[in-house]
Amino acid sequence: MANLTYITEEGMREVIQTEAARAKAEGKSYIENSTGFGNHLTGTKKKARDIGETVLSKNPGLGYCLDLNVVEAAGGVHDIGKFQCTDAYHEIEGAYMVMTRGEEWGLVRGGTQAERRQALIRIASCLPGDAALVEELGDDFPRTAAYPEFATEQIVREYEFLLKELGLSKTAFPQPFTLEAKIACFADFTDATGDTTAVRERIQGLYDTYPQRAQEARQQGDSKKANMILHRIELIKIAEPRILESCRVVEQLLK
């Protein structure tokens, strides 16, 4: 896929502005600070590439399963779904947006249509790597939905579309099963709005701040958002060992 070119930081910021405007026009205000959110996405984009380059410099034999352009692009769009559905199922929404809007965004250019599609599949496959759970998104979804209010018919349709397009089972989709996905996850959990932090510290920061966010949402009369945030805490507690194990693989490759 040497003929492909991938989105730049400037291009990524344009995508963020476009999606922020689209969400606003649709009456969705899940991202309160699109500038800070954009800094996180572009920061993670750069971090993912830096990590990938270091991994390949120390382990050049991994070049067959690690495309730096793919992992960089995945870092840039890893939370893009939050424009449409906040934290709940943003992994599904983000991957769906990559597959249906990726070409429109200029996420990947050049090459053949088949090559661009394959690149988008690899990027989209990286997105479910944070707190998506097999227990929730497995064979009984949406009956097992942790956020039943957000598990809409549209989300279910998008999920079924992704399983078919990405060629993944319901047990494979929620997990960072490729090295590219593990690096994208690692970059996300070590890059909070551009500042590098330890993975455990980042997760602890979520535990510390989410209850306050839930309380603020409830005070504003948004019980749906408050309940979603509290559910998110419980999901992260379940996912934490898997997140740490995934990140540990990358940490070992960086030594």
User: How far is C-alpha 213 from the chain's CA centre?
Assistant: 21
Mean pLDDT of 222-228: 86
Per residue in 106-135, pLDDT (tens digit) is 999 999 999 999 999 999 999 986 666 777
Of 18-27, 98-107, 143-152, 200-209, where does the model show the most confidence?
A: 98-107
What average pLDDT does the structure give for the chain? Answer: 90
Instruction: Say whether pLDDT at 89 is over 60.
Output: yes
* pLDDT of 134: 78
* pLDDT of 30: 83
More confident residue, 48 or 135: 48
Domain ranges of the chain: 4-189
* pLDDT of 97: 97
The C-alpha atoms of residue 208 and residue 210 are separated, in whole angstroms, by: 6
pLDDT band at 159 (very low <50, low <70, confident <90, very high): very high
Cβ pair 125, 191 in contact under 8 A:
no
Per DSSP, the three-state class of 132 is coil
The C-alpha atoms of residue 24 and residue 142 are separated, in whole angstroms, by: 27
The C-alpha atoms of residue 241 and residue 255 are separated, in whole angstroms, by: 21
* pLDDT of 194: 46
Per residue in 23-36, pLDDT (tens digit) is 999 998 788 888 99
Q: Which two tokens stand for residue 201?
A: 């510290």
Instruction: Say whether pLDDT at 14 is over 70.
Output: yes
The C-alpha atoms of residue 195 and residue 44 are separated, in whole angstroms, by: 10
More confident residue, 6 or 150: 6
The C-alpha atoms of residue 209 and residue 49 are separated, in whole angstroms, by: 28
